[in-house]
Structure 1
Amino acid sequence: MAGGLLALLDDVALIARAAASSADDVASLAAKTSVKAAGVVIDDAAVTPQYVSGITPARELPMIWRITKGSFVNKLIIILPIALLLSEFAPWMLTPILMLGGTYLAYEGAHKIVHKLSRDEHEAVEKAENKSGADEDSMVKSAIMTDLILSAEIMVISLNEIAAEGIWMRAAVLAVVAILITVAVYGAVGLLVKMDDIGLHMITSGKNEKLGRALVNGMPIVLSVIGVVGTIAMLWVGGHIMVVGFEEFGWAWPYETIHGWENAVGGGALGWFANTGGSFIVGLIWGLIIVALLAVIKLLIPGRKDDDEVTAPVESPAAASAAGSTATDLTEQD
Structure 2
Amino acid sequence: MSVGLLALLDDVAGLAKVAAASLDDIAGQATKAGLKAAGAVVDDAAVTPRYVDGFSAARELPIVGRIAWGSVRNKLIFLLPAALILSLVAPWIITPILMLGGAYLCYEGAEKVFHALRPHAAQGHEAALEPAALSPQNLEDTRVAGAIKTDFILSAEIMTIALAAIEVDNFWTRATILALVGVGITALVYGAVALLVKADDFGVLLYRRGRLRLTKRLGRFLVRAMPGFMQALGVVGTAAMIWVGGGILLHGLAAFGLAAPEHFIEAAAEWAAHAVPAIAGFAGWAMTAFIDGIFGLAFGLVMIPVASHVIAPAWRGIKRWLPRRG
* 2:264 maps to 1:257: yes
| Corresponding residue number in structure 1 for 2:7 | 7
Which of 129, 135, 139 aligns to 1:135? It is 139
Matched, 1:183 2:187: yes
> Retained in 2: the 8 A contact 1:240–1:279?
yes
Deviation at 1:11, TM superposition (A): 2.0
Cα distance, 1:263 vs. partner?
2.1
CA 35–133 in structure 1, closer or farther in 2 if over 3 Å, else same: same
Label 1:75 to 1:191 Cα distance change in 2 as closer, same or farther (>3 A): same
Structure 1 stretches of 4+ moved >3 Å: 298-301
**What's the RMSD between the two structures over aligned residues?**
2.0
Aligned mates of 1:150, 1:98 — CA distance in 2: 10
1:250 counterpart SS class: coil
Unaligned 5+ runs, structure 2: 124-133, 275-279, 318-326
Offset, 1:4: 2.8
1:166 aligns with 2:160: no
Q: Give yes or no for contact 1:203–1:213 (8 Å, CA) kept in 2.
A: yes
CA distance in 2, matches of 1:47, 1:183: 15
Once the 2 structures are TM-superposed, how far is the Cα of residue 131 of structure 1 from its aligned partner? 6.4
Match of 1:42 in 2: 42
Cα separation, 1, equivalents of 2:310 and 2:137: 30
Moved more, 1-10 or 84-93: 1-10
Deviation per residue, 1:150-209 (Å, 9 max, x gap) = 111001001011155321221111111111111110000000000000011112214411
Aligned to 1:311: none
Q: Is the CA contact 1:55–1:131 (under 8 Å) kept in the aligned structure 2?
A: no
Matched to 2:93, the amino acid is: M
Counterpart among 194, 205, 224 of residue 201 in structure 1: 205
Find the residue that maps to 1:55 and give its secondary structure. Answer: coil
Alignment partner for residue 310 of structure 2, among 294, 297, 314?
297
Deviations 1:48-106 (A, max 9, x none): 00000011000100111111111111111111111011111211111111111111111
SS in 1 for 2:55: coil
Distance (whole Å) between structure 2 residues aligned to residue 257 and residue 247 of structure 1: 11
Structure 1 Cα separation of the partners of residues 16 and 301 of structure 2: 56
The aligned counterpart of 1:243 is 250
Deviations 1:281-319 (A, max 9, x none): 111111112112123327977x99xxxxxxxxxxxxxxx
Q: Distance in 2 between matches of 1:299 and 1:253?
A: 33
Distance in 2 between residues matched to 1:48 and 1:187, nearest whole Å: 11
> Kindly, what percent of the aligned residue pairs are identical?
49
Check whether the contact 1:102–1:149 (CA below 8 A) recurs between aligned residues. yes
Q: Which moved more, 1:196-205 or 1:258-267?
A: 258-267
Give, in whole Å, the separation in 1 of the partners of 2:313 and 2:67. Answer: 35
* 8 Å contact kept, 1:262–1:272: yes
Aligned residue for 1:215?
222
Q: TM-score, normalised by structure 2?
A: 0.86
Q: Distance in 2 between matches of 1:260 and 1:277?
A: 13
CA distance in 2, matches of 1:90, 1:131: 44
1:1-334 superposed matches below 5 A: 1-119=1-119, 132-162=136-166, 164-207=168-211, 208-265=215-272, 266=274, 268-297=281-310
Q: TM-score with structure 1 length normalisation?
A: 0.84
Checking the alignment, whether the CA contact within 8 Å between 2:29 and 2:167 is kept in structure 1 is no
How many residues align structurally?
Answer: 296
Q: Is the CA contact (8 Å cut-off) linking 1:104 and 1:238 kept in structure 2?
A: yes
Report the CA distance shift for 1:57/1:275 in structure 2 as closer, same or farther (over 3 A): same
